[in-house]
Amino acid sequence: MLTSLLPEFTVDRSEDRCIQCRVCERQCSFDVFGYDGENNVMVHREENCVACQRCSVLCPTNALVIRENQYTYRPNANWTREYIQDLKKQAETGGVLLTGMGCDKPHKIYWDHILINASQVTNPSIDPLREPMELRTHLGRKPDQLEMVDGKLVLPDYPNVEISTPIMFGAMSYGAISYNSFRCLARAAFEYGTMFNTGEGGWPMELRKYGKSTIVQCASGRFGLDLEYFNDAAVVEIKIGQGAKPGIGGHLPGEKVSEHISQTRMIPEGSDAISPAPHHDIYSIEDLHMLIHAIKEAVDYQKPVSVKISAVHNAPAIASGMVRAGADIIVLDGLRGGTGAAPKILRDNVGIPIELALAAVDTRLRNEGIRNWASLVVSGGIRNSADIFKAIALGADAVYIGTPALMALGCTVCQKCYTGKCAWGITTQDPYLTKRVNPEIGTQNLKNLLRAWSLEIKELLGCGGINSIESLRGNRLQLRGIGLESWELEALGIRGAGQ
Amino acid sequence: MKTSSAVKKTRSTSSSRSGKQRSGAHWIKLDAQGVYYKDLNRQIRSLALQGDRRFEIHNVFGQRYLGTNLWGIEGRDRIVIRVYGTPGSDMGAFMDGPRIEVFGNAQDATGNTMNCGQIAIHGSAGDVLGYGMRGGEIYVRDNVGYRVGIHMKEYRDKIPTVVIGGTMQDFFGEYMAGGRIIVLNKFFADNPPVRRSYFIGTGMHGGNIYVRGDVDLHQIGAEVGIASPTDAEWKIIEKYVHNFCKVFGLEENKAKLLKRHKFTRLYAKSSRPYGRLYAY
Ligand code: SF4
Ligand code: SF4
């Protein structure tokens, strides 16, 4: 039967410029290009194009332009092209639609409705080039009060980890991303003095040397996880949920379970790696308490234990339970958080924006007097240093970045990670493609990004007359809302601009 | 929660070994009466680090995480812990080598994500036993609770094995990705009863469950197949039944347990249960 799936993008090739070098054909992993030797021309299968821009960037004569397909169905505000095409795909296959990366729907982005304060006259601004500016952050439980014994400060033995900037790389497993990409994240975090997160795909032995910069995950699949794995890392994170797909598990398809991945995850080659939706040993806060303490026992109470949930409606109450259950770090992953693969319907409709969840959780923990029991890390929708600054002023201790880190490695957010064909060599295990991430350059780019954003955060701190990130934390007076309704201002705990 | 003072400790032999590495050949007796689990486990760890290998813990009453913190100790696979009383949940969680023997019942999540070693329970165990188990062996003389053996997995020759002398409850072996579970279904009975537990092996994509007795179709998940053990599998079942009888001193039951035709094998129909769920 004929269905009308319009190509989403068109490939414009300037025949004057094209020299039939066939670079595009080799670079495109979505099988768009072919070569017609008889007529010495390139041919296109435009319906396969995902606009990853790999071909146009690599074309030596700039002969290629990829643009949105102008052809359309009859315009309809209700039945957009996306909904029509999705429906047709499902009518043909009977399957759940998959997608990659974070929610791309125009839900309100609160960062863009928050403005930052600056000092004028009464409180001088600070020049970060001339004065020391502290970004160092410590993650872990903090004492309720300081204790002095014989004039000496007694520090309680809550394990904390230090990061040189409040930016960490979020969980992306080896399996979801390529080995080279994984390795770049590990090394860049180590060299910059921050953390990366292994996700739940295990942790290759040769990367254990970056242990002091590594957060390992214990998720419902429990892949590649043993006592050594915990003890080689700096932090252990229990993953309950992920912003892109709250409430469901994960699933690495058997095709991606290569020999090295099977070894790292400790499962047979070619078998599906399934992470069940919940941890079947955690059905309550009490159960979470039990697992947190099992891990604390396993690391002899020497490392902070983190618990990550997706930002959902009742996140504040859950967060309070998590903290009381012994989590030293809690992580909230918002609606726009990325993923290697998730059902589209979940990604786009489940969860709440991180800005609102963060403000609500921070407020709740403060009101309960337990905010210092755990550090608060947020992720899912951080796009630049101002977003980070705003997150910290709303109450976060640090952020995780995932998509931005992949972009530093080449990603163009084409959202096709779930196909395993990433033309930029990131979310693929195809050796022909994974070579495209150069470990040296990739590491350097990630470090550059950390440096650039850290410098900008210092500028933002300086213009507000603040010289330490500690003084920004939860300092919501630095923020004003614009274009927000009163309930939104209240949820964020900030005043409106001009107020 | 209370933190108690130091654990009372006596040695079964009193010769002085201070200073040099202990041989670990003698039994260290510990009294866990009123001792907080953290202190108890720490004490075992520190003794194990000094070379002690055999522990007898008396008056255990709900202390959790026994055996969890015994990592990175040379020769930890020679550590034996005998538990008298009722240990708390997560006994042997993540455990990597030691052997724990419980003279009593165990609570929930025994052998959670266990890696290596052995647990033997002279009694029953609660829910979620062997969750995500990756290696080692668990023997339970009597019954187990709900959600047992979920997401066990295996890798090459590392195949976790659970042997249950009694019966299991619902949600048994869900998401199982590898390993084996043998259910003897009342080891003392000549004719095992049909156990009415449901949702067995839902989402199963690897491993095997062997039940002495019949399992009806409506008791198992859609991903599970029913068959008889193969010759190679029968050898394995024989071996573990033998071990089971030996561990619990139940040799006289062996003959009636080893009747091949009575065993039902439950296996994963596919290692790719989710292969056809998606539209690309
Ligand atoms: S999928 Fe990417 S590489 Fe292929 S034609 Fe489209 S933009 Fe070019
Ligand atoms: S990682 Fe690759 S496949 Fe995924 S969005 Fe980025 S470029 Fe596309």
pLDDT of residue A23: 96
Largest Cα span, chain B: 72
Report the pLDDT averaged over residues B178-189: 94
* Ligand 1 closest atom vs CA A44: 5
B90 touches chain A (CB under 8 A): yes
Q: Is residue B36 part of a domain?
A: no
pLDDT in tens, A99-143: 999 999 999 999 999 999 999 988 889 998 899 999 999 999 999
Helices (H), A409-492: 431-434, 439-463, 469-472, 486-492
Which token pair is B208?
């095997």
Q: Is residue B203 part of a domain?
A: yes
CATH classification at residue B135: 2.160.20.60
Q: Is residue B165 part of a domain?
A: yes
DSSP for B14-54, please give it: ----TTSPP---SEEEEE-TT--HHHHHHHHHHHHHTT--E
User: Rounded to whole angstroms, how far apart are CA atoms B58 and B80?
Assistant: 14
| C-alpha angle A78-A80-A82 in degrees, rounded to nearest 5 | 135
Q: Contact B274/A95, CB-based, under 8 Å?
A: no
Please give the tally of structural domains in chain B.
Answer: 1
pLDDT > 70? residue A92:
yes
Torsion over CA of A435, A437, A439 and A443, rounded to 10 degrees? 180
Report the pLDDT averaged over residues B180-195: 90
pLDDT of residue B7: 64
Q: Is residue B253 part of a domain?
A: yes
How far does A93 lie from chain B, in Å, by closest CA?
Answer: 6
Report the pLDDT averaged over residues B109-134: 96
Report the pLDDT averaged over residues A223-235: 93
Q: Is residue B55 part of a domain?
A: no
pLDDT of residue B276: 65
Distance from the alpha carbon of residue A51 to the mean position of ligand 1, in angstroms: 5
User: What is the number of residues in chain B?
Assistant: 280
Report helix angle A439-463 to A179-192, nearest 10.
40
Please choose from A12, A13, A24, A50 the residue to mutate so as to test ligand 1's pocket, defined by most ligand atoms within 8 A of CB.
A50
Exposure string for A256-270, b = 16+ CB within 10 A, e = fewer: bbbeebbbbbbbbee
CATH entry 3.20.20.70 includes domain A137-496 = yes
| Comma-separated ranges of CATH 3.30.70.20 domains in chain A | 9-95
DSSP for A216-249, please give it: EEE-TT-TT--HHHHHHSSEEEEE---TTSTT--
Picking from A379, A437, A435, the residue whose alpha carbon sits closest to that of residue A407 is A437
Better-scored residue on pLDDT, A3 or B208:
B208
User: Rounded to whole angstroms, how far apart are CA atoms A444 and A34?
Assistant: 35
pLDDT in tens, B61-114: 999 999 999 998 999 999 999 999 999 999 999 999 999 999 999 999 999 999
Question: For chain B, what is the mean pLDDT?
Answer: 90
Report the pLDDT averaged over residues B138-145: 97
A407 CB under 6 A from ligand 2? no
pLDDT > 90? residue B23:
no
The answer to whether the CB of B222 falls within 8 A of the CB of B170 is no
Task: Mean pLDDT check: name the lowest of A171-175, A222-226, A361-365, B40-44.
Answer: A222-226
Report the pLDDT averaged over residues A304-317: 97
Q: Contact A274/B94, CB-based, under 8 Å?
A: no
Q: What is the DSSP letter of A317?
A: H
pTM comes to: 0.93
**At B47, phi and psi to the nearest 5?**
-65, -40
| Comma-separated ranges of CATH 3.20.20.70 domains in chain A | 137-496
Neighbouring residues of A444: CB distance < 8 A, sequence distance ≥ 6? A188
User: Rounded to whole angstroms, how far apart are CA atoms A175 and A275?
Assistant: 13
Q: Contact A96/B93, CB-based, under 8 Å?
A: no
Q: Which pLDDT band, with edges at 50, 70 and 90, does A251 fall under?
A: confident
pLDDT of residue A149: 92
pLDDT in tens, B10-22: 655 444 444 455 6
Q: Please say whether the dihedral angle defined by the alpha carbons of residues A43, A45, A50 and A51, taken in this order, is positive or negative.
A: positive
**High-pLDDT (> 90) share of chain A, %:** 82
pLDDT > 60? residue A329:
yes
pLDDT of residue B271: 79
Q: What is the DSSP letter of B128?
A: S
A342-343 vs B224-227, strand pairing mode: unpaired
**Residue bearing tokens 């007694």:** A154
Which token pair is B2?
């209370």
Q: Is residue B135 part of a domain?
A: yes
DSSP for B65-123, please give it: -TTTT--S-TTGGG-EEEEEEE--SSTTTT-EEEEEEEES---TTTTTT--EEEEEESS
Instruction: Please enumerate residues of A whose Cβ is less than 8 A from a Cβ of B.
Output: 89-90, 92-98, 220-223, 225-228, 230-231, 251, 253-254, 262-263, 266-268, 270-272, 274, 276, 280-281, 290-291, 293-295, 297-298, 300-301, 418-419
Q: Please say whether the dihedral angle defined by the alpha carbons of residues B105, B85, B113 and A296, taken in this order, is positive or negative.
A: positive
Which token pair is A193?
């003095």
Better-scored residue on pLDDT, B219 or A273:
B219
pLDDT > 90? residue B192:
no
Please choose from A55, A57, A98, A416 the residue to mutate so as to test ligand 2's pocket, defined by most ligand atoms within 8 A of CB.
A416
Q: Is residue B5 part of a domain?
A: no
Which token pair is A65?
């332009």
Q: Residue A294: closest CA among chain B residues belongs to which residue?
A: B65
A99 CB under 6 A from ligand 1? no
pLDDT > 90? residue B9:
no
Q: Which pLDDT band, with edges at 50, 70 and 90, does A1 fall under?
A: low
pLDDT of residue B10: 64
Q: Contact A294/B178, CB-based, under 8 Å?
A: no
* Ligand 1 closest atom vs CA A66: 7
Q: Contact B65/A90, CB-based, under 8 Å?
A: no
Report the pLDDT averaged over residues A306-313: 96
pLDDT in tens, A140-155: 999 998 889 999 988 8
Exposed (0-12), middle (13-18) or buried (19+): which is A3, by Cβ within 10 Å?
exposed
pLDDT in tens, A176-228: 999 999 999 999 999 999 999 999 889 999 999 999 999 999 998 888 889 99
User: Rounded to whole angstroms, how far apart are CA atoms A29 and A433?
Assistant: 8
Sheet of strand A495-496: strand arrangement:
A114-116, A479-481, A495-496
B169 touches chain A (CB under 8 A): no
pLDDT of residue B280: 61
Q: Is residue B61 part of a domain?
A: no
pLDDT of residue B111: 97
Domain at A9-95: CATH code: 3.30.70.20
Question: For chain A, what is the mean pLDDT?
Answer: 94
